[in-house]
Amino acid sequence: MGRWDYLYEKQPIELKTYVLDQVADQIVAELRGWPPHTEGWEDAREEARFAAVLARPSPPGLDTFRVGLELARLDLLHEIEVIDRFWDSPEARTLLPDDIERDSAQFLWRWLIVSALEFQEWAQGKFKRQDLVVLIEKIEDRMLRGLRLRLDDPATT
């Protein structure tokens, strides 16, 4: 076997998939290096609300990440009713037992949406909303390692 023969057997990767993988890797690196980078806040009340979240000495727990990622995915899918039902459910109180976890999940949700939309804007519309859903799913794959939360699937709730 020659030095480069393994490349012949590799499947080509679509450019869009490659870019989404790179963006997912960058976002995951930011999340793992808690707190993630935030640009200037447009709303001083929101900045004050999330100050405690960003001051956490360690990243939120697994369930908080699961919820934040799922809410971002559902938001991109325009599943607002599912999101509203979740916040009123006992499951929300189980997964997010206190104010800091609830605020952390909401921060993650907001931060992921803003990050995805900023990427979409930077890419000048070459990535559609469904591509951003795929981006969130790639982040889930890297962060959660198979422990995804699905609120819109009756079999998983």
The structure tokens listed for 136 are 């969130």
Confidence of residue 127 (pLDDT cuts 50, 70, 90): very high
Q: Is the pLDDT of residue 136 over 90?
A: yes
Give yes or no for a contact between 36 and 111, defined as CB atoms under 8 angstroms apart.
Answer: yes
pTM metric for this prediction: 0.88
The structure tokens listed for 73 are 């995915």
- Please report, as a single letter, which amino acid is at residue 53: V
Give yes or no for a contact between 125 and 8, defined as CB atoms under 8 angstroms apart.
Answer: no
Give yes or no for a contact between 69 and 24, defined as CB atoms under 8 angstroms apart.
Answer: no
Across the chain, mean pLDDT equals: 91
Confidence of residue 5 (pLDDT cuts 50, 70, 90): low
Output DSSP code: residue 52. H
Confidence of residue 82 (pLDDT cuts 50, 70, 90): very high
Q: What is the mean pLDDT of residues 30-41?
A: 89
